[in-house]
Structure 1
Amino acid sequence: MTPAAPRRSTARLWAALLLGLASLGAHAAPLVIAIGETSLFAPLQLAAQEGYFAAEGLDVKVIPCVNGRRCLKHLTDGDAQVATVADTPIVFALHAGHRFDIVASFGTTVHDTALVARADRGIRTPADLAGKRLGVVRGTSAHYFANVFLLINGVPRDAVNIVFIDPNAGIDPLLRGDIDAAALYRPYGPQAVQQLGAKGLVLKTLLPYALMVNLVAQPGLSQDSLLRVLRAARRGVDLLNSQPARAQALLAARWRTDTKTAAERLDGYEFRLVLSQNLLSTLEAESRWAVREDLVERGGKPDFLEIMRVEPLRALDPRAVTLIK
């Protein structure tokens, strides 16, 4: 062996060692999941709180978010690999050119959002919204709910002054009177009604919009990781469905409220893991609305079917995938 040979062998040994350490570091990095803090995202909150991710062999770091739109931004910014989000923010993000996979829906409800109005501003019926200021958080399910509400109740969109409000402001703009009504998701809707007292009311509507809440992931995340996430999510869903009293007590502690309030916040939700044709139809309808209202750039329509990643959920439960793809 020449004198250079030992040096080459040593160099290869160090290179292999460094590569091994790099791989170890990459393997040790936690999976970052952005989870919304409202009641919509209860199954994933429970999965994190009760150690279901760890039980599936995942080292997870949770980023709590004020709403699903903010969770999705964590994902598109590269801060998270998985996020919880309702359907509407998905549409806005895809129109903005972001790319991610929809892995599953884990809940649906027609009771999450309410249109709360100030009766002391002369609002008693949907028709009274004409000429009034209606607050929404832009690009959220509540924003789309307001659109459906006006359409179903025959209130012309241009008759109402839509005001975009800060999601971190909660119900303060409505309480202060900066706006006359607001489309508010839980827990803000019930809180607004309670604090307004005789000055407030919930406007009723027929054919309410059915909101769906989803798990989305960065493209390229391994099927093994997604399967583990889905198993943990399913355990959270199962806890809510099979042991509601225990789930409500756990969530009440998390939300810093009592179990009665926690139960009220969860009322009307249907939690189960699916990928359905209904989600596709909803996303396409919301896309048409966003374009029509000039809320997004007019251009090519996103291919919502193409981003549906059906394989992980199909591997977990083939019956849960009713999407035609």
Structure 2
Amino acid sequence: MCTWNYPLIQIQRQLGPAAAVFYDRDIYTETFNIAAQQAFIEQNAETVERLLRALVKAETFVAEHPDAAQTLMAKLAQLELSLVKDVWANFNYEVALDQTLLITLEDETRWAMNNRLVDAAAMPDFRQHIHLDSLARVKPSAVAIQR
């Protein structure tokens, strides 16, 4: 069974020594992407950059104040603090844009094409749909994607 980390820890606690849990950062990851229409980005560049600056500020807060971040997470998600502390190391709180996004988009598109879920005959060039500039201005080191 594959489940989100918080229910997993709850299940593990209930099963005690009968539970066998295997972690592998390369098998399953939770990645959150920010998506917007190009026109919105162009018309609201300052808003987009403010959002990205807030995310980078949160990233820094998590790195510098893990206990406070865990307490905040527990409160906002309405979870036991001990549960949040148990799974905290399984997450990577990082604002980044790298080749992984392109690889994932291409892998999923290839799967959809092979299963005839889309009419596309050729792989789209996803690079033309990924906006790098705002994040590059806010946190240049976060952008590691080929144009």
CA distance in 2 between counterparts of 1:275 and 1:206 reads 18
Alignment deviations for residues 205-254 of structure 1 (CA, whole Å, 9 cap, x no partner) = 79524443222223322211100000111111111111000111111111
Alignment deviations for residues 125-166 of structure 1 (CA, whole Å, 9 cap, x no partner) = xxxxxxxxxxxxxxxxxxxxxxxxxxxxxxxxxxxxxxxxxx
The answer to whether the aligner puts 1:213 opposite 2:71 as a matched pair is: no
Identical counterparts, % of pairs: 25
Q: TM-score, normalization: structure 1?
A: 0.39
**Structure 1 ranges of 4+ moved more than 6 A:** none
Alignment deviations for residues 230-285 of structure 1 (CA, whole Å, 9 cap, x no partner) = 01111111111110001111111112233221122322222222211222112212
Q: State whether residues 9 and 83 of structure 2, in contact with CA within 8 Å, keep that contact through their aligned partners in structure 1.
A: no
Q: CA deviation at 1:201?
A: 4.1
Q: State whether residues 227 and 313 of structure 1, in contact with CA within 8 Å, keep that contact through their aligned partners in structure 2.
A: yes
Counterpart amino acid of 1:269? F
Alignment deviations for residues 64-84 of structure 1 (CA, whole Å, 9 cap, x no partner) = xxxxxxxxxxxxxxxxxxxxx
Query: Quick check: which one's helix share is greater?
Result: 2
Q: TM-score, normalization: structure 2?
A: 0.78
Go from structure 1 to structure 2 and tell me whether the alpha carbon gap of 1:209 and 1:248 turns closer, same or farther (over 3 Å shift).
closer
Q: CA deviation at 1:308?
A: 0.7
Counterpart position of 2:6:
187
Counterpart position of 1:232:
54
The answer to whether the aligner puts 1:281 opposite 2:131 as a matched pair is: no
Go from structure 1 to structure 2 and tell me whether the alpha carbon gap of 1:220 and 1:254 turns closer, same or farther (over 3 Å shift).
same
Give the length in aligned residue pairs.
Answer: 143
Query: Quick check: which one's strand share is greater?
Result: 1
Gaps of 5+ in 1: 1-115, 117-182
Go from structure 1 to structure 2 and tell me whether the alpha carbon gap of 1:266 and 1:298 turns closer, same or farther (over 3 Å shift).
farther
Gaps of 5+ in 2: none
Q: Which has the larger radius of gyration?
A: 1
Alpha-carbon RMSD: 2.7
Counterpart position of 2:141:
319
Go from structure 1 to structure 2 and tell me whether the alpha carbon gap of 1:317 and 1:292 turns closer, same or farther (over 3 Å shift).
same
Counterpart position of 1:245:
67
The answer to whether the aligner puts 1:305 opposite 2:124 as a matched pair is: no
